[in-house]
Structure 1
């Protein structure tokens, strides 16, 4: 989907489609190579890998050892129910068990299925880089509440879709309750409005997301890669089995 196409899509028409927009079917390029258990790698003195956050050249947000031998990447949409399920079942284990060892890093990259995803990504990436993944997890943990806001004022959402880009997404966040949702989690409404009103920032975000999705042939969310190789399946038990097969413990 091109930048201009995504930014001009009718918002109202997309609302009923969001629950079915993501794909939890497995997409594979072959099994992840097996490896021996990899010993833990100590973090630099005074630090820990679970609090280490890097913004990658691909535009993703990575937690853990930047040089971890096992680099797990998730392509995800914030309006994807299967992504929300993974955020509840898999991400806590990744962050609490695997990332602290220094053996596994976890990078989250955006996929935009609709303009709502643009708004939410714009807000999750608005503050400190350390807050991006926690804010994303808050969205997925409360997806029913988020959807209620997105679908609760269709006339106002439709009107927002007609505004210039430097107004559209901030107004959309206002009328759907997203500014309030994020403000309750530490990102002020004024800060959110400022980020969403930066047209150049929004256009760059959409363009980069489109480029990476095309490059890695993303057709559904979530989609996982380990060390650049597409993984089998989307359920956490399948992802964890492949991580362990590759040497994570």
Structure 2
């Protein structure tokens, strides 16, 4: 690599650093939630991991016990950021997921269980899913902000999907700002709109407030945490268990 190319890359990296400044400074005391190794520096963003076509869950799988229950009316009201519904808004079962964009377990759920959930329950009108922000570290805050800023009717959902699918390329990388910008460009961002989004102090405060309310009012302390019609479940539940919970809720 020539000196001029190395210098250009260093300048590009420095030029993106201020865009993350507010987020990184405000949450400097937070630590990464996981210890997954970072992707190699200079490596292109990873393509979404191939997942085998989901099969119908076994009807004999028992539903796990709920880890408590919250008031549904309280859970569904008073949000500082508008809920984005995946599925039909009038679906009879409501799933609320609290997730951190740098959470490996959340990424695993969205890779392994979400396809079946979407096919069998969301797309059929049996249930609806709401994903709420619960960032454990500054990079998760930044990613949550980018998802909220993504243009298009389904922009936020598409960006959440992309960030989880490519989490190994950015969540623990040394040059996270550049990795996030690469993903954001595909979603329609320019460098200017990328900077503007990550410099939005009001949006940052609302993302953090969503997490704080989840923790203080609903007892969320790990991700992913799900509330299914108010009943609380923790962890990246496999498709069979998630289906069993939803089938029981439908009765």
- Which band: TM-score by shorter chain? 0.5 to 0.7
Which residue pairs with 2:174 in the alignment? Answer: 152
Q: CA deviation at 1:5?
A: 11
Who is 1:143 aligned against? 167
Matches within 5 A, 1:183-198: 183-198=185-200
Question: 1:122 maps to which residue?
Answer: 145
Q: Secondary structure, in 3 states, of the residue corresponding to 2:130?
A: strand
Q: C-alpha separation between the residues in 2 aligned to 1:27 and 1:179?
A: 41
Cα pair distance change 1:196/1:56, threshold 3 Å: farther
Question: How far is the alpha carbon of 1:8 from its aligned partner?
Answer: 3.0
For residues 203 and 232 of structure 1, what CA distance do their matches in structure 2 show? Answer: 25
Corresponding residue for 1:18?
34
Give the alignment partner of residue 71 of structure 1, picking from 94, 103, 114: 94
Range that drifts further, 228-237 or 104-113:
228-237
2:220 to 218, 238, 243: 218
**In 2, Cα distance between the equivalents of 1:66 and 1:56?**
15
Distance 1:240 1:185, change over 3 A: same
Q: 1:8 to 1:191 in 2, by over 3 A?
A: closer
Aligned counterpart, 2:67: 29
Give the structure-2-normalised TM-score: 0.67
Residue 30 to residue 195, structure 1, CA distance change in 2 (3 Å): closer
Give RMSD over aligned pairs: 3.0
Task: Give the Cα–Cα distance (whole angstroms) in 1 for the partners of residues 198 and 144 of structure 2.
Answer: 10
Deviations, residues 9-68 of structure 1 (Å, cap 9, x unaligned): 337x835x5337xxxxx994359xxxxxxxxxxxxxxxxxxxxxxx98533321122222
Shift in Å, 1:107: 0.7
1:35 corresponding residue in structure 2 = none
Q: Structure 1: any 5+ residue segments left out of the alignment? A: 21-25, 32-54, 154-172
Task: Give the superposition deviation at 1:178.
Answer: 1.0
Deviation of 1:7 (Å):
5.4
Instruction: Compute the displacement of 1:232 (Å).
Output: 6.2
Question: Would the aligned equivalents of 1:233 and 1:239 in 2 still touch at CA under 8 Å?
Answer: no
Is the alpha carbon distance of 1:104 and 1:200 closer, same or farther for their aligned partners in structure 2, counting shifts above 3 Å?
Answer: same
Alignment: residue pair count: 193
Is residue 108–residue 236 contact of structure 2 (8 Å, CA) maintained in 1? Answer: no
1:94 corresponds to which residue?
A: 117
**Partner residue in 2 for 1:244:** 247
Q: SS of 1:75's equivalent?
A: strand
Distance 1:129 1:199 in 2: 23
